Amino acid sequence: MKHYILVHGAWEGPWSWDYTRTVLEKQGHTVTAIDLHGRYGGAQSITNVTLDSYVETVVNAINQLDHKVILVGHSMAGAVISQVAERIPVKIDKLIYVAAFLLGSGDSVIEAMKRDPDGEFLPELIFSEGQTSVTASEKTWRSKAFHDVSEDRTLEALPLVDVAQATEPFMAKVVVTDENFGSVPKVYIRTAIDKMVSPKLQDEMLQNWNVDQVHVLQSGHFPTLSVPETLAELML
């Protein structure tokens, strides 16, 4: 049996993995959904939340274990798991990117979003005066993120994403090498009707690295909510 470490994307928390986690655990696997610090119950100010602090949280969790893990990242967490793999490649059996940012070295999440020809989420974001945090309206979440999610699950998620997200993790540049990050096997789960990270951008990012397997889901950006059982089957 495997140990899956699940890392949520921006605005989310470990709750976003609940439906997928249940399927994995029923198959006998161990699952840990990381709560990136500075989020739910976190003590840090949003101005202290950085990509490095996210990475440190995941690295610390994995280093407490005496075995390898399958490390899964959704959305922005793609940048996080890439940096984790750069730091501790020997601890990771496989990386799984779920509609996630698989960036080349020197790239950032915000730069990738800006060059996304079909990305509909970024233009709708509401930045704070100092550009240190960002939010989105309920209308944006419904039309650009949860457009294929059932109404009951959308109603569950909306209050949980109604928070300010630090912008630094979007702006920080990923630094990865062939020797470390490049040596870890990779799987990409592509979301075919995604409005936040469009299929075109996902295809572009798939050219950055050697990816061992690519799966396609007929899903928007949140297969964790719309088709969690199918997502779990692909992760298995």
Q: Which tens digits make up the pLDDT trace of 18-65?
A: 999 999 999 999 999 999 864 444 445 677 889 999 999 999 999 999
pLDDT in tens, 126-161: 999 989 999 999 999 999 999 999 999 999 999 999
The third-level CATH classification (topology) of the domain covering 3-235 is: Rossmann fold (3.40.50)
Estimate to the nearest angstrom the gap between the alpha carbon of 126 and the chain centroid.
20
pLDDT in tens, 172-205: 999 999 999 999 999 999 999 999 999 999 999 9
Q: Which residue has the tokens 């989310």?
A: 12
Region 5-19: mean pLDDT is 96
Q: Which residues are marked as active site?
A: 75
pLDDT at position 101: 98
What are the sequence ranges of the domains in the chain? 3-235
pLDDT at position 46: 75
Region 211-218: mean pLDDT is 98
Q: Which residues contact residue 152 at a Cβ distance below 8 angstroms, ignoring those fewer than 6 apart?
A: none
Please say whether the beta carbons of 12 and 69 come within 8 A: no
State the DSSP string of 16-56.
GGHHHHHHHHHTT-EEEEE--TTSTT--S-GGG--HHHHHH
pLDDT at position 206: 97
Three-state DSSP at 70 gives strand
Give the mean pLDDT of the chain: 95
Region 99-109: mean pLDDT is 98
Among 28-37, 65-74, 102-111, the minimum mean pLDDT is found in 28-37
Kindly provide the residue ranges of all beta strands, DSSP E only, lying in the chain, ordered along the sequence. Answer: 3-7, 30-34, 69-74, 92-98, 126-127, 133-135, 165-166, 186-191, 213-217
Share of the chain above pLDDT 90, in %: 92
pLDDT at position 43: 44
